[in-house]
Amino acid sequence: MSGALAGRSAVVTGASRGIGLATSRSLSGEGARVLMLARGAKELRERSADIGAAAVALPCDVSDRAGVAVAAQHIAAELGGAPDILVNNAGLFILGRIDALSQDDFAASLDVNLIAPFLLIRAFLPAMRERGDGHIVTVGSIADRQIFPENAAYAASKFGLRGMHEVMRAELRGTGIRTTLVSPGPTDTPLWNSMETGRTGLPPRTAMLSAEATADAILYAVTRPATVNVDELRLTRA
Ligand SMILES: NC(=O)c1ccc[n+]([C@@H]2O[C@H](COP(=O)([O-])OP(=O)(O)OC[C@H]3O[C@@H](n4cnc5c(N)ncnc54)[C@H](OP(=O)(O)O)[C@@H]3O)[C@@H](O)[C@H]2O)c1
C-alpha cells in the first residue's frame, strides 16, 4: 500500500460513525492499518469492511476499564506492539442543567471522554517511549475552552481532557512521541440525531463542520515530518 502512512498503524476509538469513521477512512486512505474501536459490533464490522482489508474492527466499550485492558492486549498482539498513532476520539455528549443532571450521566461523561483516553494512553505509552516514536491525537471540542449552559458534564470532561493532553505534551517533548489536540466546533455527525440543535442555540446541522474537516486536520497533524509537533488545531465553520 502506498501513501504518506504506508507501513504505519493507527487505533481510532469511536470509529463506527461521525468523526472517528471519517478519520479511519482518511488514515487508511493514506496507507495506514487502522484498528477501529466502538461498542456496536455489527455497525463497526460493516464500516470497517467498507474501508477494506487495511481496517480491523475491534468491538470495545471504552468506558469498561477491564474491556479496555483486553482490547489493548489484542491491539498489541495484532500490531506486535503499540500503534504508531492513537486517536482518542470516542465521546459522549449529554446536556442538562447541573441540578437536573444525574450522577450516572456525569460519571459516564467522564468515563468515556476523559478516563478512557487516559487508560489507552497509559496502555501504549511505555512501548512508544521505548521505541522513541508515536503520535497521540486527542479529539477535544470547542467546549474544552468555552462554556455553555447545560454543558457541565461535557465541559468538565473536555476541559479535563485538554488539561491531561497539555501535561502529556510537556512530559513527552523531546521523546520522539508527538501529541496533537484537535478541537472542532459543532460538527454534523450522528451525535446530534437525538438532540434538537435549536435547544442549544447552535446552528442547524447543514451549517456545521463536516466530520471530514476534523479527519483532514488529524491527517495533517500525523503526516508532518517527525521534527514537527502540531500542538493544537481548533476548527470552526467558516
Ligand atoms: N459532533 C460534534 O458537534 C462535535 C464537536 C466537537 C467535538 N466532538 C467530539 O468528537 C468526537 C466524536 O464525535 P462524533 O460527533 O463523531 O460522535 P458520534 O457521531 O456520536 O459517534 C460516536 C462514536 O463513538 C462511539 N462510542 C460512543 N461511546 C462509546 C464507548 N463507550 N465505547 C466505545 N465507543 C463509543 C460510537 O459507537 P457506539 O455507539 O457503537 O459505541 C461512535 O462510533 C467526540 O469526542 C466528540 O466529543 C464532536
Ligand 1 centre and the CA of 20: distance in Å? Answer: 7
- In this prediction, residue 194 has a pLDDT band, given cuts at 50, 70 and 90, of confident
The reply to whether 43 falls in a domain is: yes
Instruction: Specify the 3-state DSSP secondary structure of 28.
Output: helix
Determine if ligand 1 sits within 6 Å of the CB of residue 221: no
Q: What is the best residue among 11, 12, 16 to mutate for testing ligand 1's pocket, by most ligand atoms within 8 Å of CB?
A: 16
Q: What is the mean pLDDT of residues 141-148?
A: 97
> Has residue 181 got a pLDDT over 70?
yes
> Has residue 132 got a pLDDT over 90?
yes
12 lies in which domain range? 1-102+114-147+174-184+209-238
Ligand 1 centre and the CA of 91: distance in Å? Answer: 4
The reply to whether 193 falls in a domain is: no
Query: Closest residue (by CA) to atom 8 of ligand 1?
Result: 141
* Pairing verdict, β 187-188 and 209-210: parallel
Residue linked to cell 468515563: 111
The reply to whether 195 falls in a domain is: no
CATH assignment of the domain containing 238: 3.40.50.720
Ligand 1 centre and the CA of 73: distance in Å? Answer: 23
> Has residue 197 got a pLDDT over 70?
no
Give the CA angle between residues 207, 213, 217 to the nearest 5°: 145
Q: How far apart are alpha carbons 82 and 79 in whole angstroms?
A: 7
Is 154 marked active-site? Answer: yes
The reply to whether 109 falls in a domain is: no
Q: How far apart are alpha carbons 77 and 143 in whole angstroms?
A: 36
CB 28 within 8 A of CB 51: yes
Q: How far apart are alpha carbons 155 and 159 in whole angstroms?
A: 6
Per-residue pLDDT tens digits for 86-126: 999 999 999 999 999 999 999 999 999 999 999 999 999 99
The reply to whether 78 falls in a domain is: yes
Indicate which atom in ligand 1 lies nearest the CA of residue 62: 32
Domains in the chain: how many in total? 1
Ligand 1 centre and the CA of 130: distance in Å? Answer: 31
The reply to whether 163 falls in a domain is: no
Q: Quick one: what percent of the chain has pLDDT higher than 70?
A: 97
- Position 91 scores a pLDDT of 98
> Has residue 1 got a pLDDT over 80?
no
pTM here?
Answer: 0.98
Determine if ligand 1 sits within 6 Å of the CB of residue 38: yes
The reply to whether 27 falls in a domain is: yes
Q: Quick one: what percent of the chain has pLDDT higher than 90?
A: 95
The reply to whether 139 falls in a domain is: yes
